[in-house]
Amino acid sequence: MKPSSRLLWGVVLALALAQIWALRVTWHAAPHPGGDNAGYVALAHSLATGQGYTELWDPAAPPHTKYPPVFPLLLAGAMAAGASTWAGLKTVPVLFGLLAVAATFLWARARRGVLWGGAVALLTGWSATLLYHAHYLLSDVPFVAFTLGALWLLEERRGLGGTGSGSAGLDGAEFGTVDGPESARSPETPVADPSARGGAGLPALAIAGAIACAGLAYFTRSAGLPLVVAVFAALALRRRFRPLAAGVVALGIPAVLWLLRGRNVVTDGAYVREFWMVDPYQPQLGELGVMGLVPRAIENVSGYLWGHFPAALTGAGAGGGQGATAVGVVVGLLAVVGLVLAARQRVGATEIFTVLYIAVILVWPVVWSGDRFALPLVPLALVYAGEAVAWGVARWKASAVVPALAGAAAVVLLSQGTAVATEVESSSACRAAARAGGPWACSGLGMVQFSEAARWSGANLDSEAAVLTRKPRIWYVMSGLATRTYPFVPYADSVLAVAERADASYVVLDLVGAQAQLLANAIGERPAAFCSVAGFGGQGGEPRTELLGILHGGARGPAGGTDQVQIVACPDPMRGRGVGLEPYTSSSPIPILTATPSPSPSP
């Protein structure tokens, strides 16, 4: 075996072992307490059971138009293969965690060499943000895998992105470029520009794969649109017009059908409508005009540079401290320099995607900003920052490039250490909590009680009953009952009006968030309109979650006029069948994926 092959397979083996270990020690079976996690499960269940791409959790069961269908289809495939627990379904994002690291390695290797690929893939794979999202049923990690896969298939080996006396040094001392004939180049040997060949260096199969990956990324997350544009623009720049035309048709038809699907469907969560809101979570604040995007972008620049990107790269804010933040900021600033240098040499799909994707996340609502949206930029920023360092050092002393890059990579890896250790500790604590109190125990008392209320309702209430809740999608996957969000206002008439429109006969007074206090105030305003069905928790004086009935029509009494709120018991037909439930453990199936929750004999 040639030395270059030994190096390649040695790096691949070491990288695979390191990433498998990292995913293993951060593993836990807990579901995410956010609604997206359960929403993907509900959509996958809808697909797997032949009910279309439908919001089964809503009483009206409208077609779903917000999240593209690739990730739910992946989960539906896992369900068809027999996965029915949270842990079973988590094999999908974990697998894509490995694929994302592999795609990162292939892309960075194609651009700079084996050791660059190994270093960038390791630093990306050990990002606390990637490790965190690889253990939840969210689309972020598959999106990264598809994105890097597309960029890899269009990437070509680069020389140093710059001009002048220092531009020769990197190629002779290229960090890890010993995996092929190019390793024999001397520092003075110029690097051929593949673009001079009119793009002939890109095989048709690679172009087809890149278009397919871009399409999968777009239909995984709408933020994949910049990748589609970048792939098509790169093909146009290289005059590959035939595959460009084929790609436009292949992706354009399903994209148009997806847009037409949502055109006449009015939903509260449409992306376009939410985009123009000052705060999608507070619609009453109104909408922005075009000029309002400027201050939003300025605020997001600050947020991503000083917060979200350092968090995505080094885990700053998750135990990483000020040092981790500083490393993230420096890498981000160096990446901007590297991007400019790369664009001076040749504009490719990676450069176009980077600029377009940054533009998209900067004009999104500030409340949507976060490290998860910075995650696709992590491997790109690492390479751009490395190229900037190499370019600067090469202008001083070419032989110092490799030590400088190795030292920089070590600094980033060390800065990630605290956050990764925190993630390991958090996952260990979550596994212990789940063994003692079930998978929802990691999310706190409120979610444990909420999930128990949902399971009890699914086993005891009429299957056609609708419920107002704080977290409709979680309620649905844990109960199978249709549900809608109660209004976050302290007025009984508003709550009752929403219940009327949803034909809901129940409402859950939970401990999940502060919005429950608004619901409690609304109930106190007209207590005679509600009745008690069941309570969950409350042992040892702890607060408990209440399932309340809603008395429609003439059963409602007048508004409350005293400080003492009394809720009477509901009539027997509303109080359910009295079926008990077995404890819910990490090995228990998700209720919606079974006919009914597993009952145990009533005492």
Distance between CA atoms of residues 112 and 160, nearest Å: 10
**287 inside domain:** yes
Same domain, 406 and 533: no
Number of domains in the chain: 2
Which of 400, 398, 300, 393 has its CA nearest to residue 338?
Answer: 393
Q: Which residues contact 476 (CB under 8 A, 6 or more apart)?
A: 38, 42, 56, 57, 482, 483, 592
Same domain, 498 and 564: yes
547, β-bridge pairs: 508, 534
Distance between CA atoms of residues 288 and 293, nearest Å: 7
**Domain end marker among 398, 427, 456:** 427
Same domain, 332 and 383: yes
Q: Which residues contact 113 (CB under 8 A, 6 or more apart)?
A: 174, 175, 176, 177, 178, 179
**70 inside domain:** no
Residue 118's domain comprises: 3-29+90-187+197-427
Q: Which two tokens stand for residue 28?
A: 């836990």
How high is the pLDDT of residue 2? 78
Same domain, 128 and 223: yes
**56 inside domain:** no
Same domain, 174 and 277: yes
Distance between CA atoms of residues 104 and 110, nearest Å: 10
Q: Which two tokens stand for residue 104?
A: 């990162």
Same domain, 506 and 559: yes
- Tokens 């991503």, located at residue: 304
Three-state DSSP string of 146-170 = HHHHHHHHHCCCCCCCCCCCCCCHH
**Domain end marker among 396, 427, 458:** 427
Chain center to CA of 336: 24
- How many other CB atoms sit within 10 Å of the CB of residue 531? 19
Distance between CA atoms of residues 30 and 23, nearest Å: 15
- Is-above-0.75 flag for pTM? yes
**437 inside domain:** no
pLDDT means over runs of 10, the chain (603 residues)? 85 96 94 94 96 95 94 98 95 98 97 94 95 94 98 79 39 40 37 44 89 98 96 95 96 94 64 69 71 87 91 75 86 96 93 96 86 96 96 91 94 90 92 92 94 95 94 96 93 94 95 88 92 89 92 60 74 85 90 63 36
**63 inside domain:** no
Distance between CA atoms of residues 363 and 349, nearest Å: 21
Same domain, 501 and 399: no
Q: Which two tokens stand for residue 40?
A: 């993907």
- CA torsion 340-206-255-378 (nearest 10°) is -40
Distance between CA atoms of residues 568 and 415, nearest Å: 58
**476 inside domain:** yes
**264 inside domain:** yes
Same domain, 494 and 416: no
Same domain, 555 and 517: yes
Same domain, 365 and 399: yes
Same domain, 337 and 406: yes
Which of 318, 418, 323 has its CA nearest to residue 372?
Answer: 318
Q: 530-537 and 544-550 as β-strands: parallel, antiparallel, unpaired?
A: antiparallel
**Domain end marker among 427, 457, 478:** 427
Q: Which residues contact 502 (CB under 8 A, 6 or more apart)?
A: 59, 466, 468, 482, 484
Q: 466-469 and 544-550 as β-strands: parallel, antiparallel, unpaired?
A: unpaired
Same domain, 423 and 448: no
**160 inside domain:** yes
